[in-house]
A and B are shown apart, each in its own frame.
Chain A
């Protein structure tokens, strides 16, 4: 049985897996990190997005063995140890960027990768295009886009605090 050594949210793990074990199965079933969701299991919905060595990937479409030696970040690894939320998480809360919450972990992970790759900032149109790999069936995306637009200002240091959502 193959053994996989990887770092998850800063902590090293060595886990016995099958060749066919998906990264998302390792995260959810072996490490019990169930914040990463499985929606479609066909690499379309993006609920399972995590970061592998800083790049967003669909963890239902990568084998655990392919992540051997990698550093993985999941939704559980975003907040500070004292519970302070990542600016993207805080923005999703402030802007009410979710209803049922099922897609939210993947949305947040994709959004962070999107913002990091665009240091000059993203327009609303670019945010919408950048979310192509994530499906939400509740909100119609509008508040998700607003949350990401607000969070990028904090993440890039252009704003010290998150702009409050207009009620």
Chain B
């Protein structure tokens, strides 16, 4: 890892000011950027630690929405009674990503801003129709936020402040992990609620995507058997040494069925 200057601002405005330098990068939980820096995949002049900024913290219910501060760590989300009662599927997801030590450090905002195709939270955000609130004062719908592999609607230097989830009637998640890396091979998040019926797929493609055919079928009849016969087109899905595009397409159907079962 190359050396860098380290900043730990205590306000969002201060952080955004430092990040105006295109050579500066934000660090939240550090569970992705530190391994990347060790591999010298990037050489930032400065790291801006977001962990001291109160505006990025907190988990609360505001009416029919669950609002999660971007710096909330996976462990906080996993164990939060507020998340557990509002969107239990989201708490379960937080409890099954990475391992204990990663969950003690990693954050929801960091994961969403990174948008790794094999990350978990993107399918929850897209599958619940979340709104992502930024330091630029923007409120970006999940349908616009995720723009393919490691790409989002965030501008350079713009930070996620919080994520607002409409509280669904039902939601569920299921994933198949790579047996070695434990990253997601294919995951499916389903929900029914104020945003309609939504089905979001992570891990299978270059970015998270919705499955309209399954959404329409579940809107007509919410049951695991409804999606069991719907085949995902493998065209455009990821194929690598861990599994072919056809295998991942098959997993979409299997995980969708399990996600509906998980939602109840």
Contact = CB atoms under 8 A, between A and B. Distances in A.
Interface of A: 2, 18-20, 22, 41-43, 46, 49, 55-58, 61-63, 65-66, 68, 110, 113-114, 130, 132-133
Given A20-B1, A66-B51, A132-B182, A46 B6 contact: no
Contacts of A68: 8
Contacts of A114: 100
B49 A132 contact: no
Contacts, number: 70
Contact of B6 (A19, A56, A61, A110): A19
A75 B100 CA distance: 18
Interface string B205-246: 000000000000000000000000000000000000000000
B101 A58 contact: yes
A16 to B, nearest CB: 13
B155 interface: no
A68 B102 CA distance: 19
B100 A66 contact: no
Contact of B31 (A43, A46, A65, A110): A43
A133 B5 contact: no
Nearest to B37: A20
Given A55-B75, A56-B104, A19 B3 contact: yes
A63 B101 contact: no
Contact of A20 (B4, B8, B49, B101): B4
17 contacts: A18-B3, A19-B47, A20-B1, A20-B3, A20-B37, A22-B34, A42-B35, A42-B38, A43-B102, A57-B104, A63-B30, A66-B49, A66-B51, A110-B101, A132-B99, A132-B100, A132-B182
A57 B105 contact: yes
A57 B1 contact: no
Interface string B93-120: 0000011111011000000000000000
A62 B102 contact: no
Contact of A41 (B3, B37, B38, B47): B38
B177 to A, nearest CB: 10
A2 B6 contact: yes
Contacts of A61: 30-31, 34-35, 101, 105
A130 B101 CA distance: 10
B99 A133 contact: yes
A21 B1 CA distance: 9
Closest 8 CB pairs of A and B: A133-B99, A19-B6, A132-B99, A55-B104, A20-B1, A58-B101, A20-B3, A133-B101
Contact of A56 (B1, B37, B98, B101): B101
Contact of A65 (B6, B35, B38): B6
